[in-house]
Amino acid sequence: MATLHLTNLSPEIINELRERAQHFHRPVEEEAASILVNAITFDRWRGELSADQLIDKAAKVRQGHPHAFLSEEFLRAAKNDGRP
């Protein structure tokens, strides 16, 4: 597994990350990795799938992974992406 070092993050961001990690009962490093994976995966899915397909896929991820985090805001944005 690769190692990633983050530098020059503000104290506010570090505190937010710690709070999120605490909320999901996991280490800070695991929370940071989860956020990064969700962001990259969302960008990839957004270009390949319709909004309905994306919502179906997100539901499957939520059911199959105990640490998957997809907020209502994320799902709402995915659903409305491309709609007038």
pLDDT in tens, 32-65: 988 888 887 766 655 666 778 777 777 777 676 6
Band (pLDDT 50/70/90 cuts) for residue 22 is: very high
Helix pair angle (51-64, 28-48), 10° resolution? 150
How far does the chain reach from its first CA to its final CA, in angstroms? Answer: 42
The amino acid that residue 33 corresponds to is A
Say what the pTM is: 0.52
Query: pLDDT for 62-75, tens place per residue?
Result: 676 655 666 677 77
25: left (phi over 0), alpha (psi -120 to 50) or beta: left
Residue ranges per structural domain of the chain: 35-84
| Torsion angle defined by CA atoms of residues 4, 6, 11 and 14, in that order, rounded to the nearest 10 degrees | -20
